[in-house]
Amino acid sequence: MRSCEVLEYLRKSRSDDPTMTVEEVLSRHEAILAKWTEDNLDGPIPADNIFREVVSGETIDARPQMLKLLKLIESPAIKAVLVVEVQRLSRGDLEDAGRIIKLFRYTNTKIITPMKTYDLSDEYDRDIFERELKRGNEYLEYTKKILNRGRSLSAEQGFFVTSEAPYGYDRVLVMDGKKKRYTLSPNGDARIVKMIYDMYAHENLGMTKIANYLNSIGIKGAKETPWSKNTIRKVLTNQTYCGKIVWKRKQTVPIVHNGTVVKHRLLSDAPLIYEGRHPAIIEDALFDKVRSMLGRKPHYAVGMCINPLAGLLQCSCGYCMVYQSYSKARPRLMCSNYCGNGSVTFESVYNIVIDTLKGYIHDFDIKIQNNADGLLDAHKEQIRILEKRLEELDAIELAQWEKFSDPKTPMPEEIFEKLNEKVKKERSEVKEALDNAYHRMPEAIDYKERRITFSNCLDALLDANASASDKNLLLKQCFQKIVYSRSSDMTRERNGKLINCGAMDLAFYLNI
């Protein structure tokens, strides 16, 4: 067999020394395979035939160099693949193992290790090869379980177990007894984190404006990348800045789609939060304030408003509904908190708002016709009469006291008590009637003016040439907010979550 007919594959495994880097492991393995090549082939393997996998991936599809190698073995010119051990090819599940076996078997490609050469067209070799792959997968699952158990315990004890520190922190080693653990230490970028929180909470700037400002003054984000709305959001929602350790923030959820199991990384509904051993950059009160503000600011397009309902339409969870446009579908409105209320087409909500405006205008016409303002005037006249009668009773009571205390012709005591009791009783009844009249006072609404406001808004919504900004301003004169919800009697699954997709409901709150 000639060296040009052999491919060489190198990959670091969890079984390797954890203190060694990927480059060190691959270099050591390359030396082992070079020695075998020198003893068994006609020369060194060409550089183009050597594949070095530097990314960690449990499945074949997660390893780009492995995919390239599998493509090349389809060629009859390739006779074998050289690896340090069989398990370097795959430690994935039985599906991956079966894929490897089929490809090598039906391309007549041998697997060469320094200890043994496997020819998968041979039943005995195929059985041994399959056992090796299965043993590798069992070792992988066992190792993952042990490592996850250790990381969970470290997180519970307040140590930082993620490989990459958040912006504003450095990952540092500390001693925990005889063990080395990682925690976080604020660096010079911690002041930028504080600035972002202050700008959002106290200066009332949105995430896009904060990102643009930081970019304009030359401040770089993590890994020297420019700031964006998403990176600002990550900073504002990361509880690590409060001195907490957030564990299992995301979970890998397998979902069957079109007969294939697809894994999704989803945000957990209940991440584990522990007190960290690192100092906080942001106070809990400021973080809570920012969290209460997130998703409740109106969403406008840069430079102009494209959504007439911006700042008005809220989800029943309290967050704003945001406008999402598509190239091949109608625009939709969705909750910025992804709470489980299904999205809805913008057109559907827009038409309901128009019908609601028409309904209010009809109600105003009825109130104007029935002289609703006249009812208010009559109620005010009733209050005026009761107030006047209360003043008269106060004067009568005072006169009785003066007559009773007159030294020349005093009123007999039994007559005074009878008259005074009568005045007190009537005064108490008038006072109670007056309190009730104040409590039942109709709201002072100029229905004619209100009808003009709602009619102007309706005309604007029906006018295709009116701008979204003008429609938005007119709607805000009519409504304080509009709350959107979906009934849960009908659900569907999306990305591992149950989404309400039943009947839609809109609750309108008038701007009085």
Task: Give me the pLDDT at residue 26, please.
Answer: 86
The residues of the chain scoring below 70 in pLDDT are 13-20, 56-58, 143-144, 253-269, 295-305, 371-379, 441-445, 488-502, 512
Question: pLDDT, tens digit, for every residue of 283-336?
Answer: 999 999 988 887 665 554 444 467 899 888 988 888 888 888 888 889 999 887
| Token code pair at residue 488 | 């849960």
- Write the burial class of residue 379 (CB in 10 Å: 0-12 exposed, 13-18 middle, 19+ buried): middle
Q: Fold identical between 3-150 and 169-293?
A: no
At 275 the pLDDT is 93
Question: How much is the pLDDT for 262?
Answer: 66
pLDDT for 347 equals: 93
**Predicted local confidence at residue 303, as pLDDT:** 44
Q: Please state the domain extents for the chain.
A: 3-150, 169-293, 313-365+448-510, 373-445
Query: Which tokens in the block code for residue 360?
Result: 């209010």
Residues contacting 391, CB < 8 A, separation 6+? none
| pLDDT for the residue numbered 302 | 42
CATH of 169-293, one of 3.90.1750.20, 3.30.1950.10, 3.40.50.10860, 3.20.20.150: 3.90.1750.20
Gap between the Cα atoms of 36 and 436, Å rounded: 102
Q: Specify the CATH number of the domain 3-150.
A: 3.40.50.1390
- What's residue 443's pLDDT? 57
Closest CA to 467 of 352, 304, 345: 304
DSSP secondary structure string, 221-267? -GGGPPP-HHHHHHHHT-GGGGTEEEE--EEEEEEEETTEEEEEEEE
